[in-house]
Chain A
């Protein structure tokens, strides 16, 4: 498991791989066997289908062995001049071929369904995992890379399953059957052909070790390329604003070139598997022929048996060759599967716990310490009680730890020391979903989905009626704005939000929170891009909303927090002052200082 942990963290360095000895990451190919086992597990769930498929393949292998026999029978009859016997054989052949065609139809239909089911389940599992991972994971891993796993890696697995499952099964069956026949015919010679097997295993091991490096590295580079692409396309405006297109292109080209180099190496090595196997097989064949001849001369075996044996030995080579040819593809799939499983091995958020305690929403922070990175503490001995229905404002310089408080309250991150209580219950005891359902949050970076405005607002409460939604929009001061749009509430929001200004998006996010009707409301710089007049309107409306709710507000505009019941001034992770507006102004301390700069617009 610790192996997998390491894997999971590597991508974090992924795009950073350009810097420093990043490529050292490839040195250790991960446990392929384990991955294969887990991959097989996906098959085992589709047991019925997999078994059925296997059966069909067995029948097909049987047919494909039997059909040539019929063919040679027909030719024999022709050669013997027994033309009247040819027709019945041909009829049987047609029937057999008909069956064969049906079987092959069944085979490809089955493997299509099987592969797609597996892919569907795998993507679902992966997505399920991703949405349930702690926020920290996505905070620390390049998004493009995570996405690459979802699409590229899963797609590779899918292709391999649908394309090579059949040949793999029939290959293995043929090998097994042939080996069985060979042992039955002459165990001495069969033992000899084990040389081929040993050689094959040896060569495969030798080659695959080297190949794996490239295949794993290729998938990693692909992830990294995806990250670069994602980052620069989402941040395209910034790229344009700084005329950095050229530099970005160069960076992209570097990764792309490296990907190509690795890809070429991987493919060449993967492609050489077939020819190498061919050579190995023929060496085996010559050995068998030589010893077979020797045995024949010594009279240990009959000449007829040798000729049969040699036919089998030839047959033996073909499926091994086929499998070897698939090797590259299988390697890519396994490398991909490893990356997928690496995410799946991350620990999910623990959603279990007690229901939200009955109460009005008293929040209590008890001696909370917290740091994102071990040596950099962000909060020190944070101690605060927010009374039910109170409006508490957190102020302080940027980076003083205000947002961290929100992260902890929502359990996006867990406290290191101390505890947070809501209505007397430790939030770690409350189930995450319960906790979050009772807290609504409006963030500074507004996240809206590319969907209609209606669906975006109702995101908070899917069962809300249109009346409730419009009431919430009214309260968030965006009803008129929405009504003015051509399609009103059915206006589609574009991904980049081009059709709305930042402020308008914030208004929508606020309305969404209003609709959630929570016990506790958190506004983290929620109105920073809303003009003050609009903000005033929102606030007037929210006075009612916040009346019976505990609210935590983070804002820089002191005007928005003056009527808070309690103001906490944070500095470098510590509470330096607290009290209400009048008290703090009278105190002439840090708050007073902040307040004065706000209105005078310059430093004191």
Chain B
């Protein structure tokens, strides 16, 4: 999985270690030159204690040159590593986000917003760090490790025995700690999700938190989540705290052992004291690199935990996919919707189905209203048309074709829906409207705004259409936000226009004006309106009364008044004593 992403940058990923080798080599040259400067130049060891200033300067300049070259290699190594790892992370991040954008709603619901955000940001960073450290550290460590062992065994086999004894101990330690710590990393990311979620709820729900004076309560809730996160992180750190000293002891005991073995060997005349010194240097190099490897494993195990979480997203296949049938539809039917014995229940939700055996045909160009009690399934019904969810039984046909056979983009291009909760983005009002149709001209934007009865208040904003909608729309009321959302739906020029209770915050006069304008401007568009108020829907061609997941009745306002008890009930409840005024 990771290799796939790294492949694109293999050049840099390979070049980086090469520069690294250059840097290490330069580092190796430098001590020799330095000792020449000190021994010959300053102390004049071979010259009877008389220094040679010229030599100091010449060698000094050479050494600075070498160091400089090493520095250049080092920087280049950094450049390559960063180009490889960060581009790698970037590609993965983009793919991840792209994947999320193809998921079905039920899937994003399952992941939860907070978790998806953590995955796209924090988890990617962890994986990116892992790659960077691997490129930079792994080769270097291996060089020291293999080289060290090689030279050590060359010095004397007995030193090799010490290494062979120490290494398995080191390995066991590393494996022990890594296996302990890896599951914690997965947990850590989950706790981070939780902190993110509490944070998000508070940020979006400030008004409620403040209105109920629950600042302290929320703080406690956050503190709990934070304590858990910090606690888990501490467990990781504490666990790892034990790793280093243990490694240290193993390493130092090995050094002592080398000296001891060395002493015996020197006594026997097999090696020189200089060899012992060299052996110690190599040993510390080997063990140092092992320790660095252990550190690297930490990053790797954290990165792997994150990688798993990213993979969960990347490998998640959308439940709702494009239809395959490539049939051309009859041109005569543009904008018809038919429900054929549709039943539906939300995935994972148990209990009663939300919709039961719904059959109704909405003709092209018709204004069709849906009325019903809270929670009776009105929104669920229209959610099936653009395939936010799929039916559990029966079928939904748009223009005579099953929605599951459509290309999703084509289907959703036919349908424009203004949602119950109007999501605005922190862009200008103009951009928010044009969101519905990126190619729209300014004139079209204004026309849409006029239809949605929004132009008047938009022009009153500080910068008119160019006013930026701040988070949650500070200066926009609920009704204003809804009207921007409606403008957005209108400008899409779809065959089917759905208002999912999206006029609830409009006063009736504005709402009436809106429907009037809509009727005049788009007589041929099929309009499906979900509403609570009879006044909003009484002029519709047909009104369906939804009750408990079934269509209780369907007909015009007058018909329903005559024959539907439920409808009459709603009607009188809304009109109350005001009923006689216009009748």
Contacts and interface: CB of A to CB of B under 8 A. Distances in A.
A372 B474 contact: yes
B94 A233 contact: no
Nearest to A276: B71
A139 B471 contact: yes
A552 to B, nearest CB: 13
A418 to B, nearest CB: 20
Given A230-B117, A597-B509, A495 B197 contact: yes
B108 A233 contact: yes
Interface in A402-444: 402-403, 410, 412, 432-433, 436-437, 439-441, 443-444
A274 interface: yes
A17 to B, nearest CB: 11
A37 interface: no
A282 B64 contact: yes
B426 A439 contact: no
Interface string B27-40: 00010001001100
Most buried by A among B56, B223, B501: B56
B212 A459 contact: yes
B359 interface: no
B141 interface: no
B478 A444 contact: yes
Contacts of B480: 398-399
Contact of B575 (A240, A559, A596): A559
B374 A501 contact: yes
Contacts of A310: 38, 42
B276 interface: yes
Contact of A286 (B64, B280, B371, B412): B64
A504 B372 CA distance: 13
A297 B223 CA distance: 68
Nearest to A495: B112
A138 to B, nearest CB: 5
Interface in A487-506: 494-496, 498-504, 506
Contacts of A31: none
B538 interface: yes
Contacts of B575: 559, 599
B336 to A, nearest CB: 20
Interface residue tally on B, bucketed by range: 35 or more
Contacts of B507: 395-398, 556, 594
Interface in B234-269: 234, 237-238, 240-242, 244-246, 248-249, 252-253, 255-256, 259-260, 262-263, 266-267
A238 B374 contact: no
Contacts of B349: 499
A109 B238 contact: yes
A98 B482 CA distance: 71
A599 B582 contact: yes
A30 interface: no
A583 interface: no
Contacts of B533: 532, 557, 598
Nearest to B215: A131
Given A97-B249, A275-B74, A534-B374, A600 B582 contact: yes
A484 B350 CA distance: 11
Given A282-B67, A495-B112, A534-B374, A502 B420 contact: yes
Contacts of A136: 474
Interface stretch (B82-90, B303-311, B394-402): B82-90
Given A230-B113, A290-B56, A500 B375 contact: yes
A78 B419 contact: no
B335 to A, nearest CB: 17
B25 interface: no
B71 A264 contact: no
B475 interface: yes
Contacts of B50: 297
Given A249-B94, A529-B374, A78 B262 contact: yes
Contacts of A528: 504-505, 532
B512 A601 contact: yes
Give the dominant DSSP class at A's interface.
helix
A568 interface: no
Nearest to B252: A97
Nearest to B569: A533
B201 interface: yes
A602 B195 contact: no
Contact of A278 (B67, B116, B386): B67
Interface string B477-508: 11110110000100010000000010011111
A545 interface: no
Nearest to A530: B374
A529 B420 CA distance: 9
A109 B114 CA distance: 31
B80 to A, nearest CB: 10
A182 B280 CA distance: 29
Interface stretch (B168-176, B324-332, B442-450, B457-465): B457-465
A541 interface: no
Given A135-B210, A231-B425, A447 B109 contact: no
Contacts of A392: none
Given A293-B41, A495-B197, A599-B575, A436 B234 contact: no
Contact of A289 (B41, B477, B505, B512): B41
Most buried by A among B90, B213, B427: B213
Interface stretch (A42-50, A173-181, A252-260): A252-260
Interface stretch (A112-120, A194-202, A361-369): A112-120
Interface residue tally on A, bucketed by range: 35 or more
B564 interface: no
A148 B122 CA distance: 10
Contact of A120 (B90, B208, B227, B427): B227
A531 B374 contact: yes
Interface string B88-99: 011001100110
Given A226-B121, A447-B204, A559-B578, A256 B93 contact: yes
Contacts of A595: 578, 581
A97 B205 contact: no
B211 interface: yes
Contact of B42 (A74, A306, A375, A443): A306
Given A15-B426, A444-B505, A486-B351, A138 B203 contact: yes
Contacts of A155: 122
Nearest to B425: A231
Interface stretch (A51-59, A122-130, A465-473): A122-130
B217 interface: yes
Nearest to B428: A19
Contact of A108 (B237, B421, B478): B237
Interface string B350-374: 1110000000000000000001111
A232 B120 CA distance: 12
A532 B545 CA distance: 13
Interface string A126-154: 01101110011011111110111011100
Given A459-B212, A601-B512, A601-B539, A242 B436 contact: yes
Most buried by A among B415, B417, B477: B477
A247 B437 CA distance: 11
Contact of A249 (B90, B101, B510): B101
B7 interface: no
Interface stretch (A99-107, A333-341, A379-387): A99-107
Interface string B163-193: 0000000000000000000000000000010
17 contacts: A93-B256, A108-B245, A115-B237, A135-B210, A140-B474, A234-B113, A260-B86, A268-B75, A282-B63, A296-B43, A436-B211, A459-B212, A531-B532, A559-B575, A593-B509, A594-B507, A598-B578
Leading 4 A-B pairs by shortest Cβ distance: A398-B479, A503-B374, A275-B71, A286-B60
Given A127-B223, A285-B34, A376-B461, 17 more contacts: A139-B471, A139-B472, A147-B196, A155-B122, A229-B117, A230-B117, A232-B425, A235-B423, A286-B57, A314-B34, A373-B475, A501-B375, A502-B379, A532-B573, A532-B574, A599-B575, A603-B513
